[in-house]
Amino acid sequence: CGGRAVGRPMGSPTNSLSPRSSQPFMEGLSLGASLPSNLAKRRSHTSEIKLHGEVLGRLEAQQKALLELVMGSATADAGPKEVETGLDYTDSWPNVEISIGINEVLRVDVQDLTFDADFVIYLDWLDPQLRRGEHYTWNAEHGKFELMRTLRSCKDDLRFFNPRISVANSKQEAEETDHLPLVFEEVFQDGRDVPWLTKKFHFVGTLACRGVDAKYFPFDIEAAQIRILSVDMEGVTSLGQDRHVCLVEPVLRKQWRHKRSKDTAWVRPFQDDEGMSHLWSTADVNDHNGLGIGEMRVIAFGGMSQLDGLEYTMHIVFRRQWYPRYMFEMMILNMQIIASASSLFVPYTDDMLANRMSITLTVMLTLVSSASGRPPAIEALPYSTLHDIYGKFALSVVALVALQSWVSFMSCWGLDRKEGINDFFDKDLWMVVNDERPVWDEWVCEYGTCGTTNMDCLALYITFAIMVVAFIFVLVRAQVHRITTLLWIKHEVDSSDHSPGKYSRLVLCSRGVYGFQLLPRFDITSAAAHVALLPGVSLFLKMWSLLRKCRQCCCCCCRPSDASQFHPIDAEELLKNVDIHHDQARKQLPQISNFNVKLSRYEHFRVLDVGSGEMGFYSYWTDEVSGAVCSSGTDSKLKYNKNQTFVDHFLHSPDGVEELAEQIIQRFGLRTMNSPLGKSASATEVEFSTLNGLQDLAGHDAFALPESPLRAAATVQVAATDPPTLPGAVGPVEGRSSS
């Protein structure tokens, strides 16, 4: 060691070994040399090793403390310094593409409004600011691109773009698999290779689905959402605004999947010209029950970025499998109605009412017990479902059958009947009758075609009709609900599409083949076939559209009345002549923008507003004193005659030209010279003196008949020799005014 501690200046007495520390070492050596015996030699050797070890231990402790002090000061000096990357994301940064790969959906709970899912979120973006060799390089040993150490250690969003996301409706936090972006590959763009960076998030847990509604159970369709929000970057822009990350549709990963079409790790669409934006794991789809989650089954999924770009929503559509469990439950309810109707065949005796009521009461108690116990899927729902309503309906029908038994007994047999007195067997009625006359007509108590009295036969037919109509109504209503719900979800997914194409953003599960298929944007039949309850759904849709057309054609309330026609002139005739008027105006008169009209700062600006039922005369000018803009004429307007337009009121009327000139002069406060409107050498000549002149002017763009009869604008130019008598006018008006 040279007698000095590490890091101390040489020659300093405080840094060298003191004589006190070296004295035992020398004394040990001399003591060992003076002892003649072997024991003394061994003791001398042991003492030498011990003293030498103490010196080395003391030196190592001093060296370690000195190194910690030096490294600590270096770390403290480098802490507040920012890592210089040569990049700046203060005002501009890339858009992030969202692509979701769903591994599995484990559970859907309509009672807790939650579902369990396992999915992966891929963030992809192109960063043209990064340069190869400066910010990233190719690692030949690992066969991939790697970021430089300066970027890997940078934690400032202004110096390195590292986006983050959050799942808004999750019960747990998403696990960020890649804390730093990875350079996936290079993409040729704008004449050079641009790095494609990617980041991966893995989520396994429970998510909330607030939009679930099981009112149509067991025919319901539920849509669960995965709401992905972008986390704002730290800091603000140079203008002091928040730095939001925009989430967009995946383009890079979709193109990349087309290149690796041989890879079967994910389900691919059957169409070759288009690709799915998101993926579903083949391990889940290839299984026959892979897309089934309990009673639910996945029928479609798709996602779309919202208009503001701050949220990306993924929709997963589930369909409840009502066959065979719930179909047989509804059939059992119908069979119980039929069992209660069998009580109508009990013959007329004194205990007929008791026998009928015993059968009906047994069926009713069975219905009550089955209706009180709801299926486990909806056991805790606070509202009634279609399943509950149908059970209550069956109970009501059984109660009506019991009421019919009482009415039949009282009408044809009676409680005050004296048995054995004046009773005889009527062969025509096939029953024992009494001389007492029935309450109603004798026909209701006669033997009917169904095997009992006509009254009971009529009640039996009505019961069966109600049961069949109600069952068909439930199926049709459920079918309409399924179709409209799926189309509504499809519309919600496609409504935010900035660049709509041939196919919808919602992909459907293939029928009969494992996988998914793309859905044409306007193909309603294919969407309805995936939620079919009854065979022939396409025929059902055609009948539906036919009934809507018949309703518009045949229903009196839907046909437009004559009073709703706001324009007396045929609109079709106007559309035919509008092109002719437009061509004539271009040939005869210059365009409005080519009029050589120049207004001074304080000159009046007059607007003649021609509408379908009224005309406005507005004047605008600037006050020379205050500089404020003043106006007049907005309070009152000229009303046309009833059921007349501008053309009828002024062109077709004999004195329409004079009236128009008078209104312009009076309302604008003008004075005339040689004609009703006045002329001057500097003004553009507009002839109003004859009807033909006004009709020629109507061929110009300014007076052309409008394509929309609701509003038209007319332009006239008039000359004034004296100042107009308008409020607020300070000086005389020179030149001409135009609108």
**Weakest-pLDDT range from 129-138, 189-198, 569-578:** 569-578
Distances (CA, A) of 588 to 562, 583, 693: 38, 9, 13
CB neighbours (10 Å) of residue 143?
7
Q: What is the pLDDT of residues 629-681, one digit of tens each?
A: 788 887 778 888 877 888 888 878 888 888 888 888 888 777 655 444 444 33
Handedness of CA 719, 722, 727, 728 (dihedral sign): positive
Distances (CA, A) of 377 to 323, 373, 414, 566: 15, 11, 49, 57
Question: Given the DSSP bridges, would you call strands 424-426 and 311-320 parallel, antiparallel or unpaired?
Answer: unpaired
More confident residue, 634 or 423: 634
Please identify, in words, the CATH class of the domain defined by 96-320. mainly beta
The number of residues in the chain equals 739
**Weakest-pLDDT range from 257-266, 294-303, 399-408, 660-669:** 257-266
* Whether residue 43 has pLDDT greater than 70: no
Contacts of 622 (CB under 8 A, 6+ apart): 601, 602, 628, 629, 630
Give 145's strand partners: 138
* Whether residue 691 has pLDDT greater than 50: no
pLDDT at 341: 94
pTM over 0.75? The answer is no
Among candidate residues 670, 721, 653, 685, the one with its CA nearest the CA of residue 661: 670
* Exposure letters 544-567 (e unless 16+ CB within 10 A, then b): eeeeeeeeeeeeeeeeeeeeeeee
Q: What DSSP assignment string belongs to 684-706?
A: PP---SSHHHHHHHHTSTTTSPP
For residues 362, 470, 379, 297, the Cα torsion angle rounded to the nearest 10 degrees is: 130
Q: Which amino acid is at 592?
A: I
For residues 61, 65, 66, 69, the Cα torsion angle rounded to the nearest 10 degrees is: 170
Q: Read off the pLDDT of each residue in 333-358 and give the average, rounded to a whole number.
A: 91
Which pLDDT band holds residue 625 (cuts at 50, 70, 90)?
Answer: low
* Whether residue 187 has pLDDT greater than 80: yes
Contacts of 624 (CB under 8 A, 6+ apart): 602, 730, 731
Which pLDDT band holds residue 46 (cuts at 50, 70, 90)?
Answer: low
Which pLDDT band holds residue 505 (cuts at 50, 70, 90)?
Answer: confident
* Whether residue 311 has pLDDT greater than 80: yes
Q: What is the DSSP letter of 376?
A: G
Q: Read off the pLDDT of each residue in 610-617 and give the average, rounded to a whole number.
A: 84
* Whether residue 568 has pLDDT greater than 50: no
Q: Is the peptide bond before 218 cis (omega within 30 degrees of 0)?
A: yes
* Whether residue 513 has pLDDT greater than 60: no
Which pLDDT band holds residue 329 (cuts at 50, 70, 90)?
Answer: very high
* Whether residue 548 has pLDDT greater than 50: yes
Phi, psi of 507, rounded to the nearest 5 degrees: -105, 145
More confident residue, 198 or 307: 198
More confident residue, 324 or 542: 324
pLDDT at 464: 95
* Angle CA 44–48–53, to nearest 5: 155
Q: What is the pLDDT of residues 704-734, one digit of tens each?
A: 333 333 333 333 333 333 433 333 333 333 3
Q: What percent of the chain has pLDDT over 90?
A: 24
Q: What is the pLDDT of residues 208-253, one digit of tens each?
A: 998 889 999 999 999 999 999 999 988 888 888 888 999 998 988 8
Which pLDDT band holds residue 613 (cuts at 50, 70, 90)?
Answer: confident
**Weakest-pLDDT range from 13-17, 361-365, 586-590:** 13-17
Q: Which amino acid is at 27?
A: E
Mean pLDDT of the chain: 73
Question: Given the DSSP bridges, would you call strands 516-520 and 605-611 parallel, antiparallel or unpaired?
Answer: unpaired
Q: What is the pLDDT of residues 360-394, one digit of tens each?
A: 999 999 999 888 889 999 999 999 999 999 999 99
Most confident of 79-88, 314-323, 545-554: 314-323
Specify whether the CB–CB gap between 124 and 196 falls below 8 A: yes
Q: Please name the helix (run of DSSP H) or strand (run of DSSP E) that holds residue 364, with its range, or none.
A: helix 352-372
Question: Given the DSSP bridges, would you call strands 311-320 and 221-230 parallel, antiparallel or unpaired?
Answer: antiparallel
Q: Read off the pLDDT of each residue in 15-42 and give the average, rounded to a whole number.
A: 39
Q: Read off the pLDDT of each residue in 472-476 and give the average, rounded to a whole number.
A: 92
Tokens of 634: 């907005």
Q: What is the pLDDT of residues 427-467, one digit of tens each?
A: 665 655 555 555 556 778 888 888 888 899 999 999 999 99
Three-state DSSP at 641 gives coil
* Whether residue 166 has pLDDT greater than 50: yes
Q: Read off the pLDDT of each residue in 604-618 and give the average, rounded to a whole number.
A: 83
pLDDT at 275: 65
pLDDT at 278: 83
Of the CA atoms within 13 Å of residue 21, those in its CB half-sphere come to 14
Three-state DSSP at 258 gives helix
More confident residue, 292 or 715: 292
Contacts of 592 (CB under 8 A, 6+ apart): 701, 702, 715
Three-state DSSP at 502 gives coil
Question: Could you tell me the fold of the domain covering 325-447?
Answer: Methane Monooxygenase Hydroxylase; Chain G, domain 1 (1.20.58)
* Whether residue 614 has pLDDT greater than 50: yes
Alpha helices by DSSP H, 555-630: 571-588
Which pLDDT band holds residue 197 (cuts at 50, 70, 90)?
Answer: very high
pLDDT at 190: 82
Q: Read off the pLDDT of each residue in 502-521 and give the average, rounded to a whole number.
A: 78
pLDDT at 331: 93
**Weakest-pLDDT range from 139-153, 405-419, 469-483, 723-737:** 723-737
